[in-house]
Copies of this chain bind each other. A is one copy, B any other.
Amino acid sequence: MQDSSSTNRGTNLDPWYGAYAARTAGLSASEVRALFAVASRPEVVSLAGGMPFVAALPEDLIRSAFDTVMRTQGPMALQYGSGQGVPALREHILEVMAEEGIRAGVDDVVTTTGSQQAIDLVAKLFLDPGDVVLAEAPSYVGAIGVFRSYQARTVHVAMDSDGLIPQALRETIAAERAAGSTIKFLYTVPNFHNPAGVTMSAARRPEILEIARSNGILVVEDNPYGLLWFDKAPPPPLRTLEDDGVIYLGSFSKTLAPGFRVGWVLAPHAIREKLVLAAESAILSPSSFNQLVVNEYLNTADWRAQIDVFRGVYRERKETMLSALSEHLPELTWTNPNGGFYVWVTLPPELDSKQMLPRAVTELVAYTPGTAFYADGGGRSEMRLSFCYPTPENIRMGIRRLATVVGGELDLLRTFSGTGTLRVNRPDRRVVSPPPDLG
């Protein structure tokens, strides 16, 4: 693994060492990023990444959308477009959001280069150095990185199996204000949380909004997974309960394909105007080509049925992962997500998931250490397992390998601490050869 400390500062070998902006010190290689290199070896079962299983998308649907776009709108697809995005696509985005109960006007939607760009643009608009962003503990690694890149501080708020805890939010706001902090917004992933896998309960949603409203704190609701539920739909988005105080982020990366890099943001009008200016400054306009292909897909394909296909794929994989965890790692605890991509695993407190990772890679399994999802050093004995990309067979194999790793680490620790050994199933990892399609 690359040592991130070597890349987040200039060194004396860099003649421009002294020229970087102060914010550049906050740009560091995330643990997830370093893992991408490791996990891309084909023999490793990666439970680390967040790649959707795009093989479940019939390529004919994309070909057909492309053919129609080039036949009917070729010059528009090849040209610069508006900074706010293609109007027809934004109309379709309203339909997609309506699936979750959101009602909005097409003028309040901005299409972005993935919803990651939406996070970046919102951060650029609001965050001065030293400002505070509130986020669940843990939170999405890519958002924490953006906030850090604008020299803001992410302060975590405790969550449980019903999501963000209202009383913890109140107390954190009070403590930060008492310390003189300027809190700019609450960043939350209410549905099938990345990485925690939990969903904010219906009862808590209005309460969280009321706390934010009464404290004058904007809410940034990031909802890339909301439509990918397994047994029942999650409660309606926060944005259905409140228009003026919520910036809502959506994405086609999980319900269609991330290779198009098409996401969106729905924002109160005055904020939306500034988001468009920030987007134009950053990239002039999002890709017309991609927006029109996605738009045509939404025009002609049965995209709701395709989302059902994805639900089935991910539901089976989640169930496989949980049953493998029960079988091979019963001494650990984990969340049971009703949608999305991720399970959050809590290890015995004496284990350090980051220190354990090299051993895991040796055993040909990868995961994301919990510390990646905390801005404050938390998460040492936690890890994120993703079930989105590997096949069920490989998920089972990956969990068996993980059991070998955890068992070995515990053996080692208990041997040295003199508390005896704890037996964990240690299946032979060579029984099944991994197929070559694993990332």
Contact = CB atoms under 8 A, between A and B. Distances in A.
Interface of A: 7-8, 10-11, 13-17, 19-24, 27-30, 33, 36, 50-52, 54-55, 57, 59, 62-63, 66-67, 70, 74-83, 113-114, 116-117, 120, 124-128, 131, 142, 145-146, 149-150, 184-185, 216, 218, 244-245, 253, 257-261, 268, 270-271, 273-274, 277-278, 280-290, 293
A20 B257 contact: no
Given A57-B78, A124-B21, A274-B24, A259 B287 contact: yes
Contact of A287 (B13, B245, B261, B274): B261
Contacts of A66: 63, 66, 70
A52 B281 CA distance: 19
Given A7-B273, A30-B280, 20 more contacts: A7-B277, A14-B268, A14-B270, A15-B244, A15-B245, A21-B131, A23-B124, A27-B125, A29-B277, A54-B79, A113-B113, A113-B283, A113-B286, A120-B281, A142-B281, A146-B281, A149-B278, A149-B281, A259-B289, A282-B282
Contacts of A116: 282-284
- Copy tally for this chain in the complex stands at 2
Contacts of A290: 287, 289-290
A21 B270 contact: no
Contact of A271 (B16, B184, B185): B16
A195 to B, nearest CB: 16
Contacts of A285: 261
Contact of A27 (B77, B281, B287): B281
Contacts of A11: 270
Contacts of A258: 78-80, 284, 288
**Lowest 7 CB-CB distances: which A-B pairs, in order?**
A14-B270, A78-B257, A259-B288, A78-B259, A54-B78, A27-B277, A259-B289
Contacts of A82: 36
Contacts of A57: 78
Contact of A83 (B19, B33, B131): B33
A66 B51 CA distance: 22
A27 B78 contact: no
